[in-house]
Amino acid sequence: MANIETRVVFQHFFDRKAVVDAVGKMKVKALKKSGLAVMQATRRRIKKQGMAKPQLRVQKENPGMTLAQLVRLPSIRERDRKAALRRINEIKDPPHSNPGESPFTHTGMFRNHILFSWDSGSESVVVGQAMPKGDWLARLHEFGGSQRMKGYVWVPRYPGYRSPIMKFRRAGAKVNTSRWQPTAMQQTRQYPPRPYMNPALMEKVEDGTIVNSFKIGGM
């Protein structure tokens, strides 16, 4: 987040320590308020897709049933069946946002782990991705770049299954090798920038939220 400085002019009749203590508390409060605003704006930009979306009406009406079970339910309404099929397709083939637009979240984790925190050492507020081991993905979305991928082949549970299933995962990522056998295949994928942090910060700067956080009346 941008470094916002505060300047105070002291007069001789002020209690210097009391004023400094008061200004310090106000600065912390203002920065925390700014951090919260940027965090919320960032989360709003990351749209939910697939599993991250709220449950469909038909799911709430039939708790415990999977989407695949629901579409085969004889009593299901046709529009609910179509909605469940669309959700299944969205989960199986996750859509991507357009280059230059904020990324989607498919499970909710990426969006929900955008947090803010007060750093007493630097007297600043940090806003960003706090998902465990997710810093690589945060940078890739914000700035774009390349990512080396490694190929894995699915190990079937039943010997009679012959159709090959393959996937690529980020090189170095943790993979269940009892189910996925690593191969020598590798590829490098290019990702366009999908900025979400800087646009959210600029939004809060331009609409006056951050400046107003430092005004006594706005606090």
Predicted local distance difference test score (pLDDT) of residue 16: 54
Strands 124-129 and 145-154: unpaired
Lowest-pLDDT choice from 8-17, 61-70, 148-157: 8-17
Structure tokens, 151: 């190929």
| Phi, psi of 200, deg, nearest 5 | -65, -40
When the pLDDT of each residue in the chain is averaged and rounded to a whole number, the result is 86
User: Is residue 182 one of the residues assigned to a domain?
Assistant: yes
**Residue 121 neighbours by CB under 8 Å, 6+ apart:** none
pLDDT tens digits along 74-84: 999 999 999 99
- The model scores a pTM over 0.85: no
Range of the domain at 181: 145-191
Give the model's confidence band at 198: pLDDT under 50 very low, under 70 low, under 90 confident, else very high: very high
Of the CA atoms within 13 Å of residue 39, those in its CB half-sphere come to 19
Predicted local distance difference test score (pLDDT) of residue 98: 96
User: Is residue 36 one of the residues assigned to a domain?
Assistant: no
- What's the rounded Cα separation, in Å, for the pair 49 and 92? 11
- What's the rounded Cα separation, in Å, for the pair 24 and 17? 10
H and E: helices and strands count for the chain: 8, 5
User: Is residue 158 one of the residues assigned to a domain?
Assistant: yes
Helix, coil or strand: residue 153: strand
User: Is residue 11 one of the residues assigned to a domain?
Assistant: no
User: Is residue 175 one of the residues assigned to a domain?
Assistant: yes
Give the model's confidence band at 118: pLDDT under 50 very low, under 70 low, under 90 confident, else very high: confident
Which of the pair, 106 or 19, is modelled with greater confidence? 106
User: Is residue 123 one of the residues assigned to a domain?
Assistant: no
Give the model's confidence band at 119: pLDDT under 50 very low, under 70 low, under 90 confident, else very high: confident
User: Is residue 108 one of the residues assigned to a domain?
Assistant: no
Lowest-pLDDT choice from 9-23, 74-88, 105-119: 9-23
Percent of the chain whose pLDDT exceeds 70? 84
Per-residue pLDDT at 3 exceeds 60: no
Q: Please tell me the total count of domains within the chain.
A: 1
Of the CA atoms within 13 Å of residue 210, those in its CB half-sphere come to 20
